[in-house]
Structure 1
């Protein structure tokens, strides 16, 4: 028998995306939606679209994904976000590589940000480790966001692309990056890092240079300049948040 492959989608109030997302995964042996008690109708829409729905409280992305790896009956798991889509070409390639010896596969991802498909500035090819062999992969619990997968075996890279419709507006981008900056500050604090005065200037400048120059963000025109600048700003915000976390601890809050 060929290996079985399940697509797992983690959700929390994803009514806008979930139906189209599940439709792009309809080729899989199973589509499982792991929902964190959405109140916008996401579970009902997911079931109507043909997915299995399980619900559990949100305990961090890594824990949610590890739980899915434990309970989903399939040889392979492909993790798909609600705002992502699997193309037919990628679906065929996933079936093709499943019998091979690698235990994890990276998919290149196209990111669409406020209507533009990005080609540089760190947003492309944006490889994501998403196809995982059950029993040979787990998520590092020390990373609450931008999770890290630990593999017991070799990994490979896919040719075909995953589509990611990241942000419809700059306001949505701001909300998400503000959250990421807070997460990053928490990680730095857990590592014992304290902000130094030069961090507030040098770290954002390094981030801008990395995205705009090293990663050729300038090739994406206005979008590349704006995104490189914004990501430098959120790097600054993470150090501001880090300083606040240390102050709260020192006050005993």
Structure 2
């Protein structure tokens, strides 16, 4: 007998991309969506697709919001995805096989194919970009990180699945940049609260390191023009987060400058 699967996602203002995401997981036993205060038709679209919709605008970070969403699920297993991701038929087949015969004390990782400026990247550290997203609901939970949250599964065996999760990482460059800046800011504030510090030399070394790591160590040059551009973008993201941390260390805030 197959275990029941709950597809769980968090969302905000995803009306333009949600229908394709939902269509790719229509085979699941249930789909749960936790909205964090959309101003568009996200909630209506989800309800029309028979998704179990909940709303919680008390945003405290990605990890906490994912765990809240998981709390509404009833399936034996959770597949945690984002609204800008799509489950391929090959991945769906792999997941169904796990539901019929899961391994004890195991969680399952999925390879993501990330879109950047019209190209699904094959290098640059963006593929296979494995993420652990399939797991037993009652055994595992997400950490409380504000950004770059991950599943907490100490001691569990991680089993890679066949098939890809398509990730529309960068459909619109301006929106992608805004998201990157918000991630960098949240990262810096989280590190600052933990007492982390960085020097000007540290900012420059981390920035240069991010560029070289993407382009050379992760063979970004094999991704053509997009590989070079992504190396610059990764360097920019690294510069932003460490500079924000430096500014917080120094007490330079917008409020103080007004």
Decide: shared fold, TM above 0.5.
yes
Q: Which residue of 2 aligns with 1:86?
A: 87
CA contact under 8 A between 1:138 and 1:150: conserved in structure 2? yes
> Deviation string for 1:134-159 (max 9, x for gaps)?
12211121x21111211153221111
Q: Which residue of 1 aligns with 2:195?
A: 192
Q: Which residue of 2 aligns with 1:34?
A: 34
The 10-residue stretch of structure 1 (117-126 or 100-109) with the greater mean CA deviation from structure 2? 100-109
Counterparts of 1:27 and 1:90 in 2: how far apart (Å)?
Answer: 12
TM-score by length of 2: 0.92
Counterparts of 2:250 and 2:40 in 1: how far apart (Å)?
Answer: 37
Counterparts of 1:206 and 1:187 in 2: how far apart (Å)?
Answer: 22
Structure 1 residue 169: Cα displacement: 2.4
Residue 5 in 1 paired to residue 5 in 2? yes
Q: Which residue of 2 aligns with 1:245?
A: 248
Residue 162 in 1 paired to residue 165 in 2? yes
Structure 1 residue 36: Cα displacement: 1.1
> Deviation string for 1:115-151 (max 9, x for gaps)?
111011111111011112112211121x211112111
Q: 1:252 to 1:41 in 2, by over 3 A?
A: closer
- Residue 106 of structure 1, aligned match among 105, 109, 119: 109
The 10-residue stretch of structure 1 (43-52 or 98-107) with the greater mean CA deviation from structure 2? 98-107
Counterparts of 1:133 and 1:125 in 2: how far apart (Å)?
Answer: 23
What is the alpha-carbon root mean square deviation over aligned residues? 1.8
Q: Which residue of 1 aligns with 2:74?
A: 73
TM-score by length of 1: 0.94
Q: 1:250 to 1:229 in 2, by over 3 A?
A: closer
Q: Which runs of 4+ in 1 moved over 3 A?
A: 247-253
Alignment gaps of 5+ in structure 2 = none
CA contact under 8 A between 1:102 and 1:156: conserved in structure 2? no
